[in-house]
Structure 1
Amino acid sequence: MTIKRPTTTQLLDIASRLHIQLTDAQAEEYLAMMQANFDAYDQIDALPDEIPEVKYSRDAGYRPNVEENPLNAWYYKSKVTGASTGRLSGLSVVLKDNVALAGVPMMNGSSTLEGFIPAYDATIVTRMLDEGVTVLGKATCEHFCLSGGSHTSDPAPVHNPHRHGYSAGGSSSGSAVLVANGEVDLAIACDQGGSIRIPSSFCGVYGLKPTHGLVPYTGIMPIENTIDHAGPISRNVRDNALLLGVLAGHDGLDPRQYTVKTDDYLSYLNRGVKGLKIGIVKEGFQLTNMDDRVAEKVRSAAKKIEELGAIVEEISLPEHYLAGALWTPIGCEGLTAQMMHGNGMGFNWKGQYDIGLLDKHKDWRQQTDKLSPTLKVCMFVGQYGIEQYAGKYYAKAQNIARRARAAYDQKLAEYDLLLMPTVPIVAQPLPDQNSSLTEYISKAFEMIGNTAAQDITGHPAMSVPCGVVDGLPVGMMLIGRYFAEGTIYQAAAAFESAVDWHDC
């Protein structure tokens, strides 16, 4: 099989876009010289791709109807039974619908990707199946994961399990709902600006964003390599720690993984908090949309942890705001370059590329009217930064991100954990179909003020349910040192054992 060769007209057009001027004669001469290069493309085209082995059979599955799926939390149901024994034997899991499950449709919340069927399982899916889990299918997620609300997914918004018509949080909206509702034991979620922790807070479940790179992202559709994280959602701390122990570790295929350090996370659960030093970050309580009732619940939870024996002190971390600001050029320019122009895969990294996903996602260019306003606004910012400033502010933000991380590290050298509200509000009403662009977009990003920072710095952070405001859950966020997820579980387990958050 041979690839299609460019014509002289196509080469002149390519040269023009590269700001190179050619005569017709020069173009024809260049074309003749290029043929040997295209022969190499032919050779590659004739070879089979390197695709990971699919080890477990699965049924064809189906997309549940509204009667079976009243909260719109399921995208696709398909049962995959793992090994007969293992650490996750007897437990069920649902995958966020940006995680590859071979033979089962994946649309990542966007109709532009509808019809794509992965050829292999994500690394973390194979790891879970090897440990005996039963995969029950795919959970709805927000449109290409670009929303902290739950109103952007195609074809319908996801409802909060505690109050219909209210946001479940995003972008891992369905993952949190199905765990909170008891339809699955565990869920896989992903986090680039808070997308594990926001829905966990809104739905009253435990959601951990691990240290950047601890959990391999292989087989998960990227947004931007430097802020991509995958992690567990559960109804209790033990299951969360159990699942992380299965997910974590180097796989040799993910460029996000470097000097990865795993741990026995379950061993931390009964240690208590006596002697732990916890810093309450005052900046995390000073967001412009901070609900005082949420702040009060989180401070009460911190007081309870202090009563259990921890040393709890208020501290100042101004760089928390800086890290949040850095998200905009890194997130917007990065996703525009990698997820959109790079067709999801991008360039310049070694690892497992999903060729099928690349081929399918490239067609977004013919369906731009179907892209969500939340993605569009990020693309507009990103494209402007790339075109007007040649990526200067993306590069500068990545450099300054080291300063933000160092500030977090300095406080975490003094304290074992940092503490703040996961989000400044409880779940809000979903915008209606006639909402303005301003309301639609604002409702997607109004809650990320505390969560985006740790995606930039890479520190592990967990949302822990700690109370209720007006019948809706409140989340407390615990932040730890790099690869110190065990310490987060230590404090979360102690708090969980001491209180029933439903009554707080």
Structure 2
Amino acid sequence: MSLIQLESDPKKITGEELKPVLKKAGLELTESLIEDFSTLITGFEAAIHSLPDDREVQPRPNLEKYPRKDIHIPEDREFGAWATKVTAKCTAPKSNLLEGRTVALKDNIALAGVRCTNGTAMVEWVPEIDATIATRIMDAGATIIGKSACENACMEGISCTSVTGPVHNPYAQGYSAGGSSSGSGRLVATGSVDLAIGCDQGGSIRIPASSCGIVGLKPTWGLVPYTGILSLDPTIDHAGPMARTVRDCALLLEAIAGPDGWDDRQPPVELQGYQLEFVRDVDAVTRLPRDRMLEGMKVGILLEGFQVPGTDKNIVASVRSAAAQLSELGATVSSISVPAHLEATPAWMILVPAASPGSLLGERNGRKQLHFPDRCELVGQKLTQAQFDALGPGASYMYLAYLWAEEHYGPKLHARCMNLLKAVGDGYDLALKDVDVLITPTLISPPVQLPENGYSGGPLELMSMTTGVLANTSPLNITGHPALSLPVGFSHAREDPNVKLPVGMQIIGRRFRDIDCLKVAAAWEKAFDWKTL
């Protein structure tokens, strides 16, 4: 480390000001060293005060080109699905790709001038910037009509923890719509919007897609920019499309995919020359004769995906039947094993608490991406009691697990997990050399009944209700492979056999071969009616 300049500032940091910092860190220095470091820290302070205003380089929207109006909290929240309503569109779109379509943004996505709750009352934040994907959606001719409710701090798989209230399943009031993109799932399913954006760190696009009977794609890590979206951890952050049909899912993906110059999740070497058009290939598949739509495609039924403890037998039967039907469309279907699939979730459960300071406090050291210093200032350097109390069970557990791990294990625990998780990705890559896509159930059990008392019964009660819900989804966040949930039938609710709830089949592809997931899903969707199965 060298100095750019040495300031002789009249507001010199004194040794007495430095000593409390040293004491808190458990350090003892001689008076001579304290004097030297006081001078050096004075230069550090001077450099801080010389920084220009970073707002000048932020992607602040041109509000004449991208006007927004009628910002309000609606009285009718569509059974909890809406957080905030708005009308935002571009006056001069770059294309008509999404012309006439309405879109909801998950409420952890920045849209300037519109509150961004992240599903929690922990902090009140109104961003001044637009997320890249929000701009791209408007540039494609769509109208953003609101922010969809999301679960508290985006850390729940059951839809009863959002600060804006519980979100009900579109097929059965009183049942979960899934999480954390709960509002997006319901709004698309009910036709309240044409399309929606979800964000996914452990399954938060695919869980509500499966629960609500819609199509949801977690794209390849880095395909869609995460710029302007509240992060859980950059290594597992994904934003993607949610729609009623596979074609609409491909359409929205086409509008939002590609590097934006901000997000270091996006590897430019991987994306150079990568075809960012998806609808054309989806249309080409569905125009073929039924028995040739998937000709030449190899589909692997991932055995471990059906072996998760607690897997519902009706879901197994539904997904196996749907996978077998792919052979009628020209695909070769076989069984395949990836032992690491069952080992991934415990490592994910350790990795995510290690990311809690970043997701809750906004710490993103070492990342080249858009940061939110205004929100960091609102949150502070650690959670206050009031902020902690505003968290849902999942987020508060994650924060305490982080504190425990930090105290007892330090950074080595996170380091071990990151090393082990490389082997998980290698396992999928090896399997995907022999097949084009892998198949699992999206969820191992049907959506649960919403608790009457919300989440006031305590974290253990609520989190026990969704044991295993991430088993087939979270491994793909770790590895970055694309994964799509497609509705393929119904299963009986565990609490009431007279209640029927959607079942999702997960289609996993090679990295940056999202189109394979879309083609397989589009072919099955064209050939079969999931609502009659």
**Do both proteins adopt the same fold according to a TM-score greater than 0.5, normalized to the shorter chain?**
yes
Distance (Å, rounded) in 2 between the aligned partners of 1:7 and 1:182: 63
Distance (Å, rounded) in 2 between the aligned partners of 1:496 and 1:196: 19
Q: What SS class does the counterpart of residue 188 from structure 1 fall into?
A: strand
Query: 2:248 is matched with which residue?
Result: 239
Q: Which runs of structure 2 are paired with 1:310-349 in the superposition (5 Å)?
A: 310-333=331-354, 335-340=355-360, 343-349=361-367
Distance (Å, rounded) in 2 between the aligned partners of 1:70 and 1:216: 29
Q: Which runs of structure 2 are paired with 1:22-421 in the superposition (5 Å)?
A: 22=29, 27=34, 30-44=37-51, 49-55=56-62, 56-65=66-75, 68-82=76-90, 83-84=92-93, 85-114=95-124, 116-258=125-267, 259-260=270-271, 261-269=274-282, 270-271=284-285, 272-333=293-354, 335-340=355-360, 343-362=361-380, 365-366=383-384, 367-421=387-441
Q: Structure 2: 5+ residue runs without aligned partners?
A: 1-8, 286-292, 493-499
In structure 2, the CA distance between the partners of 1:462 and 1:356, relative to structure 1 (3 Å rule), is: same
Q: What SS class does the counterpart of residue 51 from structure 2 fall into?
A: helix
> Is 1:451 the counterpart of 2:469 in the alignment?
no
In structure 2, the CA distance between the partners of 1:10 and 1:221, relative to structure 1 (3 Å rule), is: farther
Query: 1:475 is matched with which residue?
Result: 504
CA contact (8 A) 2:12 2:39 kept: no
Measured after TM superposition, the shift of residue 264 of structure 1 is: 2.1
Question: Per-residue displacement from partner, 1:98-145 (whole Å, max 9, x unpaired)?
Answer: 00001110010010122x111110011111111111000100001111
CA contact (8 A) 1:319 1:404 kept: yes
Measured after TM superposition, the shift of residue 267 of structure 1 is: 2.4
Question: Per-residue displacement from partner, 1:352-375 (whole Å, max 9, x unpaired)?
Answer: 212222222337622222222211
Query: 1:11 is matched with which residue?
Result: 18
CA contact (8 A) 1:81 1:134 kept: yes
2:236 partner amino acid = I
Distance (Å, rounded) in 2 between the aligned partners of 1:262 and 1:444: 38
In structure 2, the CA distance between the partners of 1:143 and 1:268, relative to structure 1 (3 Å rule), is: same
Measured after TM superposition, the shift of residue 432 of structure 1 is: 2.6
CA contact (8 A) 1:345 1:354 kept: no
TM-score computed with the length of structure 1 as normaliser: 0.94
Distance (Å, rounded) in 1 between the aligned partners of 2:308 and 2:16: 55
Distance (Å, rounded) in 2 between the aligned partners of 1:390 and 1:363: 19
Measured after TM superposition, the shift of residue 49 of structure 1 is: 4.1
Q: Which runs of structure 2 are paired with 1:434-445 in the superposition (5 Å)?
A: 434-445=456-467
Question: Per-residue displacement from partner, 1:266-300 (whole Å, max 9, x unpaired)?
Answer: 12223221221101011111111200001100011
Measured after TM superposition, the shift of residue 337 of structure 1 is: 3.4
CA contact (8 A) 2:200 2:477 kept: yes
CA contact (8 A) 1:463 1:477 kept: yes
Q: What SS class does the counterpart of residue 107 from structure 1 fall into?
A: coil
Distance (Å, rounded) in 1 between the aligned partners of 2:373 and 2:128: 10
Q: What SS class does the counterpart of residue 214 from structure 1 fall into?
A: coil
CA contact (8 A) 1:111 1:155 kept: no
Question: Per-residue displacement from partner, 1:320-348 (whole Å, max 9, x unpaired)?
Answer: 11222220222111x223223xx224211
State which drifts further: 68-77 or 21-30. Answer: 21-30
Q: What SS class does the counterpart of residue 325 from structure 2 fall into?
A: helix
Q: What SS class does the counterpart of residue 468 from structure 1 fall into?
A: strand
CA contact (8 A) 2:308 2:468 kept: no
In structure 2, the CA distance between the partners of 1:9 and 1:297, relative to structure 1 (3 Å rule), is: farther
Distance (Å, rounded) in 2 between the aligned partners of 1:134 and 1:449: 35
Measured after TM superposition, the shift of residue 229 of structure 1 is: 0.5
Distance (Å, rounded) in 2 between the aligned partners of 1:188 and 1:5: 50
CA contact (8 A) 1:101 1:125 kept: yes
Question: Per-residue displacement from partner, 1:249-268 (whole Å, max 9, x unpaired)?
Answer: 11111111112234321122
Measured after TM superposition, the shift of residue 226 of structure 1 is: 0.3
In structure 2, the CA distance between the partners of 1:7 and 1:496, relative to structure 1 (3 Å rule), is: farther
Pairwise CA RMSD:
2.0
Question: Per-residue displacement from partner, 1:399-447 (whole Å, max 9, x unpaired)?
Answer: 2222111110010010000001000111110123153431112235541
> Is 1:502 the counterpart of 2:523 in the alignment?
no
Q: How many residues align?
A: 496
Distance (Å, rounded) in 1 between the aligned partners of 2:379 and 2:68: 25
Distance (Å, rounded) in 1 between the aligned partners of 2:342 and 2:38: 52
Measured after TM superposition, the shift of residue 31 of structure 1 is: 2.6
Query: 1:20 is matched with which residue?
Result: 27
In structure 2, the CA distance between the partners of 1:47 and 1:402, relative to structure 1 (3 Å rule), is: closer
Query: 2:288 is matched with which residue?
Result: none
Q: 2:484 aligns with which of 451, 462, 487?
A: 462
Question: Per-residue displacement from partner, 1:436-465 (whole Å, max 9, x unpaired)?
Answer: 431112235541111000001110000000
Question: Per-residue displacement from partner, 1:365-396 (whole Å, max 9, x unpaired)?
Answer: 22222222211211222222233222112112
Distance (Å, rounded) in 2 between the aligned partners of 1:446 and 1:7: 55
State which drifts further: 460-469 or 370-379. Answer: 370-379
Q: What SS class does the counterpart of residue 413 from structure 1 fall into?
A: coil
Measured after TM superposition, the shift of residue 10 of structure 1 is: 5.0
CA contact (8 A) 2:185 2:212 kept: yes
Distance (Å, rounded) in 2 between the aligned partners of 1:27 and 1:361: 31
In structure 2, the CA distance between the partners of 1:389 and 1:497, relative to structure 1 (3 Å rule), is: same
1:391 partner amino acid = P
